[in-house]
Amino acid sequence: MQKTTLITGGSRGIGAATALMLARQGHDICVNYCSNQTRADDICEQARALGRNAIAVQADVSVESQVLRMFDEIDVQLGNLTGLVNNAAILMPQMPLVEMDADRVNRILSTNVTSSFLCSKEAVKRMSTDFSGQGGAIVNVSSAASRIGAPGEYIDYAASKGAIDTLTRGLSLELADQGIRVNCVRPGFIYTDMHADGGEPGRVDRIKSAIPMQRGGSVEEVAEPICWLLSDSASYVTGTFIDVAGGR
Ligand code: NAP
Protein backbone atom coordinates (compact mmCIF):
# COMPACT_ATOMS: atom_id res chain seq x y z
CA MET A 1 0.00 0.00 0.00
CA GLN A 2 1.30 3.47 -0.88
CA LYS A 3 2.32 5.33 2.29
CA THR A 4 1.25 8.97 2.59
CA THR A 5 2.48 10.94 5.56
CA LEU A 6 1.87 14.41 6.98
CA ILE A 7 4.81 16.01 8.76
CA THR A 8 3.81 19.07 10.78
CA GLY A 9 6.55 21.69 10.86
CA GLY A 10 8.22 19.98 7.92
CA SER A 11 9.83 23.10 6.49
CA ARG A 12 13.03 23.03 8.54
CA GLY A 13 15.07 21.18 11.16
CA ILE A 14 13.99 17.69 12.26
CA GLY A 15 10.71 17.91 10.34
CA ALA A 16 12.44 18.71 7.04
CA ALA A 17 14.98 15.90 7.51
CA THR A 18 12.14 13.49 8.31
CA ALA A 19 10.13 14.56 5.27
CA LEU A 20 13.09 13.97 2.94
CA MET A 21 13.98 10.63 4.54
CA LEU A 22 10.37 9.46 4.21
CA ALA A 23 10.34 10.53 0.56
CA ARG A 24 13.51 8.51 -0.03
CA GLN A 25 11.74 5.53 1.59
CA GLY A 26 8.80 5.84 -0.82
CA HIS A 27 6.28 7.96 1.08
CA ASP A 28 4.20 10.64 -0.55
CA ILE A 29 4.38 13.61 1.80
CA CYS A 30 2.52 16.66 2.99
CA VAL A 31 4.98 19.23 4.32
CA ASN A 32 3.14 21.50 6.72
CA TYR A 33 4.66 24.88 7.57
CA CYS A 34 3.57 28.00 9.41
CA SER A 35 5.48 30.89 7.84
CA ASN A 36 8.30 29.71 5.59
CA GLN A 37 6.77 28.73 2.27
CA THR A 38 10.08 28.89 0.37
CA ARG A 39 11.68 26.22 2.54
CA ALA A 40 8.56 24.01 2.44
CA ASP A 41 8.42 24.29 -1.37
CA ASP A 42 12.10 23.37 -1.56
CA ILE A 43 11.55 20.18 0.46
CA CYS A 44 8.64 19.25 -1.81
CA GLU A 45 10.71 19.85 -4.93
CA GLN A 46 13.40 17.52 -3.61
CA ALA A 47 10.73 14.87 -2.88
CA ARG A 48 9.25 15.22 -6.37
CA ALA A 49 12.73 14.78 -7.85
CA LEU A 50 12.69 11.37 -6.09
CA GLY A 51 9.41 10.53 -7.86
CA ARG A 52 7.11 11.17 -4.93
CA ASN A 53 3.91 13.20 -4.69
CA ALA A 54 4.54 16.11 -2.34
CA ILE A 55 2.52 19.13 -1.29
CA ALA A 56 3.36 22.05 0.97
CA VAL A 57 0.42 23.26 3.05
CA GLN A 58 0.46 26.38 5.21
CA ALA A 59 -1.47 25.97 8.47
CA ASP A 60 -0.98 27.10 12.04
CA VAL A 61 -1.58 23.68 13.58
CA SER A 62 -2.78 25.19 16.85
CA VAL A 63 -5.88 26.55 15.04
CA GLU A 64 -8.62 24.01 14.40
CA SER A 65 -10.05 25.62 11.25
CA GLN A 66 -6.58 25.65 9.66
CA VAL A 67 -5.96 22.02 10.60
CA LEU A 68 -9.29 21.03 9.02
CA ARG A 69 -8.39 22.90 5.81
CA MET A 70 -4.98 21.19 5.71
CA PHE A 71 -6.50 17.71 5.99
CA ASP A 72 -9.06 18.60 3.29
CA GLU A 73 -6.16 19.51 1.00
CA ILE A 74 -4.44 16.20 1.76
CA ASP A 75 -7.67 14.30 0.96
CA VAL A 76 -7.99 16.04 -2.40
CA GLN A 77 -4.36 16.20 -3.50
CA LEU A 78 -2.73 13.10 -1.98
CA GLY A 79 -5.57 10.78 -0.97
CA ASN A 80 -5.37 8.00 1.61
CA LEU A 81 -3.34 9.19 4.62
CA THR A 82 -1.31 6.48 6.38
CA GLY A 83 0.96 8.42 8.72
CA LEU A 84 1.29 11.54 10.87
CA VAL A 85 4.38 13.06 12.47
CA ASN A 86 3.39 15.56 15.16
CA ASN A 87 6.63 17.54 14.97
CA ALA A 88 5.78 21.27 14.92
CA ALA A 89 6.64 23.06 18.15
CA ILE A 90 8.07 26.31 19.43
CA LEU A 91 10.48 27.44 22.12
CA MET A 92 10.46 30.96 23.57
CA PRO A 93 13.28 32.94 25.19
CA GLN A 94 14.80 31.49 28.34
CA MET A 95 13.35 32.73 31.65
CA PRO A 96 12.38 31.46 35.09
CA LEU A 97 8.75 30.76 35.98
CA VAL A 98 8.30 34.04 37.86
CA GLU A 99 8.82 36.00 34.62
CA MET A 100 6.37 33.95 32.51
CA ASP A 101 2.94 35.39 31.71
CA ALA A 102 -0.24 33.62 30.70
CA ASP A 103 0.06 34.61 27.03
CA ARG A 104 3.44 32.93 26.74
CA VAL A 105 2.40 29.73 28.54
CA ASN A 106 -0.85 29.45 26.56
CA ARG A 107 0.99 30.00 23.27
CA ILE A 108 3.49 27.27 24.09
CA LEU A 109 0.75 24.85 25.13
CA SER A 110 -1.52 25.53 22.15
CA THR A 111 1.32 25.32 19.61
CA ASN A 112 3.02 22.28 21.12
CA VAL A 113 0.10 20.32 22.61
CA THR A 114 -3.32 21.37 21.22
CA SER A 115 -1.84 21.02 17.72
CA SER A 116 -1.03 17.35 18.30
CA PHE A 117 -4.55 16.66 19.58
CA LEU A 118 -6.13 18.39 16.56
CA CYS A 119 -3.91 16.70 13.96
CA SER A 120 -4.20 13.30 15.62
CA LYS A 121 -7.98 13.61 15.67
CA GLU A 122 -8.16 14.27 11.92
CA ALA A 123 -5.65 11.50 11.21
CA VAL A 124 -7.63 9.01 13.31
CA LYS A 125 -10.83 9.85 11.41
CA ARG A 126 -9.02 8.85 8.21
CA MET A 127 -6.85 5.92 9.37
CA SER A 128 -8.84 4.10 12.09
CA THR A 129 -10.48 0.83 11.14
CA ASP A 130 -13.43 2.01 13.29
CA PHE A 131 -13.91 4.76 10.68
CA SER A 132 -13.45 2.39 7.71
CA GLY A 133 -9.78 3.37 7.38
CA GLN A 134 -6.92 0.98 6.63
CA GLY A 135 -4.79 1.71 9.70
CA GLY A 136 -1.66 3.77 10.06
CA ALA A 137 0.93 5.17 12.44
CA ILE A 138 1.45 8.34 14.43
CA VAL A 139 4.82 9.51 15.75
CA ASN A 140 4.90 12.30 18.31
CA VAL A 141 8.08 14.34 18.68
CA SER A 142 8.57 15.07 22.37
CA SER A 143 11.85 16.06 24.03
CA ALA A 144 14.33 15.00 26.68
CA ALA A 145 13.04 18.18 28.35
CA SER A 146 9.97 16.22 29.48
CA ARG A 147 12.30 14.20 31.75
CA ILE A 148 14.76 16.97 32.63
CA GLY A 149 12.26 19.82 33.19
CA ALA A 150 14.44 22.66 31.76
CA PRO A 151 14.61 24.63 35.05
CA GLY A 152 15.34 28.34 34.74
CA GLU A 153 15.03 28.14 30.97
CA TYR A 154 11.76 26.82 29.62
CA ILE A 155 9.70 24.78 32.05
CA ASP A 156 6.64 25.72 29.97
CA TYR A 157 8.18 23.98 26.94
CA ALA A 158 9.26 21.01 29.09
CA ALA A 159 5.74 20.68 30.50
CA SER A 160 4.28 20.80 26.99
CA LYS A 161 6.49 17.82 26.12
CA GLY A 162 5.36 16.02 29.27
CA ALA A 163 1.84 16.35 27.88
CA ILE A 164 2.99 14.86 24.58
CA ASP A 165 4.42 11.85 26.44
CA THR A 166 1.08 11.32 28.18
CA LEU A 167 -0.84 11.80 24.93
CA THR A 168 1.36 9.11 23.37
CA ARG A 169 0.64 6.63 26.12
CA GLY A 170 -3.11 7.26 26.27
CA LEU A 171 -3.72 7.46 22.53
CA SER A 172 -1.65 4.35 21.83
CA LEU A 173 -3.95 2.38 24.15
CA GLU A 174 -7.09 4.03 22.79
CA LEU A 175 -6.15 3.09 19.21
CA ALA A 176 -4.31 -0.21 19.67
CA ASP A 177 -7.24 -2.26 18.34
CA GLN A 178 -8.06 0.23 15.57
CA GLY A 179 -5.01 -0.44 13.39
CA ILE A 180 -3.11 2.68 14.46
CA ARG A 181 0.22 2.58 16.28
CA VAL A 182 1.23 5.64 18.32
CA ASN A 183 4.84 6.13 19.39
CA CYS A 184 7.14 8.89 20.50
CA VAL A 185 10.69 10.06 19.79
CA ARG A 186 12.41 12.23 22.41
CA PRO A 187 15.38 14.15 21.01
CA GLY A 188 17.99 15.69 23.27
CA PHE A 189 20.20 18.56 22.05
CA ILE A 190 20.01 18.68 18.25
CA TYR A 191 21.63 21.22 15.94
CA THR A 192 18.64 23.22 14.56
CA ASP A 193 17.51 26.85 14.40
CA MET A 194 15.10 26.28 17.28
CA HIS A 195 17.77 27.23 19.83
CA ALA A 196 18.14 30.68 18.27
CA ASP A 197 14.38 31.17 18.75
CA GLY A 198 14.92 30.24 22.38
CA GLY A 199 17.47 33.04 22.70
CA GLU A 200 20.72 31.04 22.51
CA PRO A 201 21.91 29.96 19.04
CA GLY A 202 25.02 28.27 20.48
CA ARG A 203 23.14 26.32 23.16
CA VAL A 204 24.03 22.83 21.94
CA ASP A 205 27.75 23.57 21.94
CA ARG A 206 27.52 25.18 25.40
CA ILE A 207 25.85 22.09 26.85
CA LYS A 208 27.56 19.30 24.95
CA SER A 209 30.20 18.55 27.60
CA ALA A 210 27.31 17.56 29.91
CA ILE A 211 26.01 15.04 27.37
CA PRO A 212 27.45 11.53 27.98
CA MET A 213 28.39 11.18 24.30
CA GLN A 214 29.99 14.66 24.45
CA ARG A 215 28.22 16.01 21.37
CA GLY A 216 24.92 17.30 20.03
CA GLY A 217 22.85 15.27 17.58
CA SER A 218 22.04 15.78 13.91
CA VAL A 219 18.56 16.07 12.45
CA GLU A 220 19.13 12.85 10.51
CA GLU A 221 19.85 10.98 13.75
CA VAL A 222 16.35 11.94 14.93
CA ALA A 223 14.65 11.35 11.58
CA GLU A 224 15.93 7.74 11.46
CA PRO A 225 13.87 6.42 14.42
CA ILE A 226 10.84 8.48 13.37
CA CYS A 227 10.92 6.82 9.94
CA TRP A 228 11.46 3.40 11.48
CA LEU A 229 8.47 3.83 13.80
CA LEU A 230 6.31 4.73 10.78
CA SER A 231 7.52 1.70 8.82
CA ASP A 232 6.15 -1.83 8.69
CA SER A 233 9.37 -2.95 10.44
CA ALA A 234 7.82 -1.51 13.62
CA SER A 235 4.50 -3.32 13.12
CA TYR A 236 4.30 -4.64 16.73
CA VAL A 237 5.56 -1.44 18.37
CA THR A 238 3.10 0.94 19.99
CA GLY A 239 3.03 3.18 23.06
CA THR A 240 6.81 3.29 23.21
CA PHE A 241 9.46 5.99 23.53
CA ILE A 242 12.82 6.26 21.81
CA ASP A 243 15.24 8.67 23.49
CA VAL A 244 17.67 10.19 20.96
CA ALA A 245 19.76 12.18 23.39
CA GLY A 246 23.32 10.86 23.42
CA GLY A 247 22.75 9.07 26.73
CA ARG A 248 21.33 12.05 28.58
P1 NAP B 1 12.61 24.14 14.28
O2 NAP B 1 13.87 24.05 13.49
O3 NAP B 1 12.37 25.36 15.12
O4 NAP B 1 11.40 23.96 13.25
C5 NAP B 1 10.09 24.10 13.72
C6 NAP B 1 9.12 23.79 12.59
O7 NAP B 1 7.81 23.91 13.14
C8 NAP B 1 9.22 24.75 11.44
O9 NAP B 1 9.01 24.02 10.25
C10 NAP B 1 8.07 25.71 11.68
O11 NAP B 1 7.50 26.22 10.48
C12 NAP B 1 7.06 24.78 12.32
N13 NAP B 1 6.07 25.46 13.15
C14 NAP B 1 6.26 26.26 14.23
N15 NAP B 1 5.08 26.68 14.71
C16 NAP B 1 4.13 26.14 13.91
C17 NAP B 1 2.72 26.22 13.89
N18 NAP B 1 2.02 26.92 14.80
N19 NAP B 1 2.05 25.56 12.92
C20 NAP B 1 2.73 24.83 11.99
N21 NAP B 1 4.06 24.72 11.96
C22 NAP B 1 4.75 25.38 12.92
O23 NAP B 1 12.43 22.91 15.26
P24 NAP B 1 13.30 21.57 15.47
O25 NAP B 1 14.46 21.89 16.32
O26 NAP B 1 13.48 20.88 14.18
O27 NAP B 1 12.29 20.73 16.38
C28 NAP B 1 11.36 19.82 15.83
C29 NAP B 1 10.70 19.06 16.96
O30 NAP B 1 11.74 18.44 17.76
C31 NAP B 1 9.92 19.94 17.94
O32 NAP B 1 8.79 19.22 18.40
C33 NAP B 1 10.89 20.16 19.07
O34 NAP B 1 10.23 20.47 20.29
C35 NAP B 1 11.57 18.82 19.11
N36 NAP B 1 12.89 18.85 19.77
C37 NAP B 1 13.92 19.57 19.25
C38 NAP B 1 15.14 19.56 19.90
C39 NAP B 1 16.34 20.31 19.40
O40 NAP B 1 17.38 20.32 20.09
N41 NAP B 1 16.27 20.96 18.25
C42 NAP B 1 15.29 18.84 21.09
C43 NAP B 1 14.22 18.15 21.60
C44 NAP B 1 13.02 18.15 20.92
P45 NAP B 1 7.92 27.68 9.86
O46 NAP B 1 9.44 27.70 9.81
O47 NAP B 1 7.28 27.70 8.53
O48 NAP B 1 7.36 28.70 10.80
What is the 197 CA–ligand 1 centroid distance (Å)? 10
Rg of the chain taking only CA atoms, in angstroms? 17
CA distance 74 to 44: 14
Among 192, 226, 242, the mutation site with the greatest number of ligand 1 atoms within 8 A of its Cβ is 192
- Whose C-alpha lies nearest to ligand 1, atom 8? 9
- Whose C-alpha lies nearest to ligand 1, atom 12? 9
Res 52 pLDDT > 90: yes
CA distance 38 to 207: 32
CA distance 65 to 60: 9
- Whose C-alpha lies nearest to ligand 1, atom 27? 14
Res 198 pLDDT > 90: no
Given a contact cutoff of 8 angstroms between Cβ atoms, the answer to whether 120 and 86 are in contact is yes
Predicted TM-score (pTM) of this structure: 0.98
Nearest-atom number in ligand 1 for the CA of 33 is 47
Partners of 32 in the β-ladder: 57
- Phi, psi dihedral angles at 5 (to 5 degrees): -130, 135
Given phi > 0 = left and psi -120 to 50 = alpha, else beta, which region is 32?
Answer: beta
User: 245 CB under 6 A from ligand 1?
Assistant: no
Name the average pLDDT for the chain.
Answer: 98
User: 120 CB under 6 A from ligand 1?
Assistant: no
Given a contact cutoff of 8 angstroms between Cβ atoms, the answer to whether 217 and 144 are in contact is no
Mean pLDDT of 134-153: 98
pLDDT score, position 167:
99
Res 207 pLDDT > 90: yes
Given a contact cutoff of 8 angstroms between Cβ atoms, the answer to whether 77 and 31 are in contact is no
User: 15 CB under 6 A from ligand 1?
Assistant: yes
- Between 199 and 29, the more confident residue is 29
Cα dihedral 230, 235, 240, 242 sign: negative
Mean pLDDT of 195-208: 93
Q: Would you tell me how many other CB atoms lie within 10 Å of the CB of residue 7? A: 32
Res 32 pLDDT > 90: yes
pLDDT in tens, 216-245: 999 999 999 999 999 999 999 999 999 999
154, 157, 191, 236: which one is catalytic?
Answer: 157
- Whose C-alpha lies nearest to ligand 1, atom 46? 36
3-state secondary structure of 49: helix
pLDDT score, position 43:
98
Res 246 pLDDT > 90: yes
pLDDT in tens, 67-108: 999 999 999 999 999 999 999 999 999 999 999 999 999 999
**Residue 157 designated active-site:** yes
